[in-house]
Structure 1
Amino acid sequence: MHFKDNNQPIGIIIEVHGPVVVIDCNRLPPLKQALCTRFDHTLYLFEVHQHLDEKLVRAITLHGTAGLRRGMIVFDTGSPLHVPVSESCLGRLLNVFGEPLDGGPDLPQQNFRNIHANVTKRDIRRNVELRLKWLDLPEYVAFRVFLGGFYFV
């Protein structure tokens, strides 16, 4: 997720309880919306979890909370949490924000997908096929071991 410096402030932090933050908002952001703040060149991301009333939201911090304090200005990212999806992601080690952890080059910021997106029937079918292949493997190994411990090809 990338923070745009031209975002308008949406509110301020009024409580910090571990990873849970209560934010007093000018306008109520939708649930699962990504909010952010900056402190000491560090970007902190939040996800709106609950509307407490017309102005207060409870959000979950997706980073460590060291450095967060009451009165910090919070910005709306304009979208829910999303990660890059493309062929260049295959075989890479990424964190939940789509940032590479394997020391490789940064990913091109072209195609993104909402982490709360609806699953398509095609995705479900592909997942079931992979699970069936995984379930067949132990049966095959167990069958070969059952035949007297000898491996017959």
Structure 2
Amino acid sequence: MSDSQAGLRRRAAVKYPLELKTLALFAFLLLLSLRNLLEAEHKDAVFYGFGSLAAICLFGFIYLFARRAGGRAELTIRYGSVEVNGLPLTPSEIRDIRMDGPIVGIVPRGRRVPPVRLCLDIRDANDRKALILWAAQHNVPVRKGRFMRWL
């Protein structure tokens, strides 16, 4: 019997987190590096350092903003796995699940910080409870509290 026939498949309503603090940090660093870039000498190594920092911050800011605005996140809870944006994860591949209110991060084995692509904003409490129940059934630890995300 497949999981959809047994009623053991649940598609959760999720979005990507907005990450306002990260966006604000990138914007601040971008503006700071642009200011320093305009004041630096053109042949100085500091000029290239601030230019690189400005490019990295601009890329990070655009990536996070575009991801939130245009990306559609998907979370499907099945009997033996969790599928995040088309990536199936079995319980043996998951180190732990971290929750900070509606923000959920799934940490794969071998990682300490959840990657951004595995961080989701699950607004519906029933969907969060379904994920917690799935984790408890498969002995996947669930940690509550603030956590970092990694690009």
TM-score by length of 2: 0.23
Work out which structure has the larger RCO, using CA pairs closer than 8 Å and 6 or more positions apart in sequence.
2
- TM-score if structure 1 supplies the norm length? 0.23
The structure that is strand-richer by fraction is: 1
Instruction: State which structure, 1 or 2, has the greater radius of gyration over its C-alpha atoms.
Output: 1
More helix by share: 2
